[in-house]
Structure 1
Amino acid sequence: MITPEDLQPLPITGNKTIPEDYLDEMGHMNVMWYTHLFSNATGKMFDLFGLSDDYCVRTNSGAFALECHLRYLAEVRVGKTVRIHSRLVGRSEKRWHFMHFMVIEEDDRIAATAEFVGAHIDMTRRRTSPIPPIVTEPFDAILAQHDQLDWDPPLCGIMRP
């Protein structure tokens, strides 16, 4: 079982104190806000390997999400602060595979995970396209660091880049 301590070497790509308007009828954070927070974390993670807004404008490229698998492990309540760590898992010529881990800071426990496969997109053609070296080189350097961790990411087992 992965612990919040295991996540410490991973970059923090999100941090949010949960406001009251994130709650649903059950009194905890609504599922749409998990997706929102993980989406924001994805943008910050992309910045780490050069897939920034500037890159997308300059190259008329972008990223599309192709698959997502969410796991809800603990309730997130109003007023709690969550932190998101991100781990790269792999890539192919046109796709990447990564995970986010949401930690409740006050309880020091993992509240949710999100596993994604996404693709590099040529926005002119709106089709997948090879990921250029300006992105793959920093991606691969970060991936090599993440591959050195002494724990395997808890993958769903059916997603591939």
Structure 2
Amino acid sequence: MTIDQLHALPLYHRQTIPDDYMDAMGHMNVRWYMALFDEATWGLFDDVGLTAAYFKAHQAGGFALRQFINYWSEVHAGQTVAVHTRLLGRSAKRFHFMHFIINETTCQAAASLESLGTHADLRQRKSSPLPPAIAERLDAHLARNQRLDWQAPVCGAITLLPDPAI
């Protein structure tokens, strides 16, 4: 995977890193990586129809089930990062995706988050099937991503198969 390949993925968040994101080691603290990934997740959600209005109207939501993070290079205050996203798969209820943080200042991949999420019925507080219109939008993203000529660097521990613990 190259920076050019990552740039070809949809961009869901861009931000210049403020001084208060730094930790005692002089680089961005891990909690801010999660904040950047979270912002990108909301961008992906909006793009496929999982909007705040949809959630409110249908008493629905999304739950994170599993996540795996890789840190590849440091990010410092004043640098600009961009979060690009690749959809890896989906089932009737779940969606598997990866976010990639690119440090645009240094032209390096900084981190990735592999995530498994589920559509949820907030009245019952449990997983529920994705509505057809949203499933179709996810499928369109997935079809584009399946045509890419590179394999996503997945951890191998996340699967769409049902897990009795979830």
Q: Which amino acid aligns with 1:156?
A: C
Match of 2:89 in 1: 90
SS in 2 for 1:41: helix
Q: CA deviation at 1:134?
A: 1.6
Could you tell me which runs of 5 or more consecutive residues in structure 1 were left unpaired when the two chains were aligned. none
Match of 1:45 in 2: 44
Match of 1:9 in 2: 8
Of all paired residues, the percent bearing the same amino acid is: 46
Kept in 2: contact 1:3–1:109 (CA 8 A)? no
Match of 1:62 in 2: 61
Q: Which amino acid aligns with 1:18?
A: I
Match of 1:75 in 2: 74
Q: CA deviation at 1:94?
A: 0.9
SS in 2 for 1:25: coil
The whole-number CA distance in structure 2 between the counterparts of 1:31 and 1:98 is: 20
Alignment of 1:7-156 (within 5 A): 7-156=6-155
TM-score normalised to structure 1 length? 0.98
Could you tell me which runs of 5 or more consecutive residues in structure 2 were left unpaired when the two chains were aligned. 161-166
SS in 1 for 2:110: strand
Q: CA deviation at 1:9?
A: 2.1
TM-score normalised to structure 2 length? 0.95
Over 4 Å off, 4+ runs? none
How many residues of Structure 1 are paired with residues of Structure 2 in the alignment? 160
Q: Deviations over 1:31-51 (max 9, x none)?
A: 000001101100001111111
Q: Deviations over 1:64-93 (max 9, x none)?
A: 000110000000011110001001000111
Kept in 2: contact 1:68–1:114 (CA 8 A)? yes
SS in 2 for 1:40: helix
The whole-number CA distance in structure 2 between the counterparts of 1:56 and 1:32 is: 26
Q: CA RMSD in A?
A: 0.7
Kept in 2: contact 1:98–1:117 (CA 8 A)? yes
